[in-house]
Amino acid sequence: MSQTVRAFVFDMDGTIVDNMAFHTQSWLAFFARRGRAVDADEFFRTTAGRQGGEIMRSYLGEHLSHEEVALLAHEKEELYRELYAPHLATVSGFDALIGAARAEGVKLAVASAAPPSNIDFTLDGLDLRHRFDTVVCAADVARGKPHPDGFLLAAQRCGAAPEHCIVFEDAPLGVEAARRAGMRAVVLTTTLPAEAFAEFDNVICIARDFSELNIAELFASSPATN
């Protein structure tokens, strides 16, 4: 009998790295340049996990062409990288968790709404890319979260069925994407408090960081018993 393939699928921003405050700052600065005042909390709740182009069109108009969106996104992401570069670091316990998971034969994937430039900035900046079996970014799927496309593609590339994947997320739209993919989710409270995820029936654990997690317990868990 073949062994079941298990996988951990990690969101990147706000999960592998605690950077969402810097993303929000860069968006606010980007919109301020255009005379738009945006509420930071509301912006995060409605956009975290969505692709940059989707956000641009939501706030600046659906009429924007692909080329216009690309130029605007480049400006915004340069702002973000400039702000966050001095602080680039993994969330506590991450390196130990993926090392232990790899030793137990768990496949490792990243599924992020980030553009390729930010994937490079983070994963290569931290020398992490080689530790993952696959990396899915915004350029690989047509739709961002809460659609499940990114998580499903990551699972497919890992050769793991959705029910044997555990997603790590920090945002409600990401947890919803995991739910739609048929995957259990672990929530990190790097960005929002635990109560922000009370409505989700696929959450098996809520933790401050990765140091609180146990691999065997996670795969043994089900939302119905947690």
CA distance linking residue 16 with residue 88, whole number of Å:
10
pTM: 0.88
What pLDDT, on a 0 to 100 scale, did the predictor assign at position 85?
97
Region 54-58: mean pLDDT is 88
Buried-exposed string 128-153: b where 16+ CB fall within 10 A, e elsewhere? beeebbbbbbbebbeebbbbbbbbbb
CA distance linking residue 166 with residue 159, whole number of Å:
14
> 72 Cβ partners below 8 Å, 6+ apart?
30, 56, 60, 64
Q: Using one digit for the tens of pLDDT, what is the confidence trace for 131-173?
A: 999 999 988 999 989 999 999 999 999 999 999 999 999 999 9
What pLDDT, on a 0 to 100 scale, did the predictor assign at position 121?
97
**111: β partners:** 136
Q: Which of 48, 4, 224 is nearest to 146 (CA)?
A: 48
**135: β partners:** 110
CA distance linking residue 61 with residue 72, whole number of Å:
12
Q: Which of 110, 223, 226, 84 is nearest to 168 (CA)?
A: 110
Phi and psi (nearest 5°) for 96?
-65, -40
What pLDDT, on a 0 to 100 scale, did the predictor assign at position 3?
87
Helices (H), 2-147: 20-32, 40-47, 52-60, 66-84, 94-103, 116-119
| Domains of the chain and any CATH numbers | 7-18+89-225 (3.40.50.1000), 20-86 (1.10.150.240)
* Location of structure tokens 């592998």: 16
Q: Residue 11 — very low, low, confident or very high, per pLDDT cuts 50/70/90?
A: very high
CA distance linking residue 213 with residue 226, whole number of Å:
14
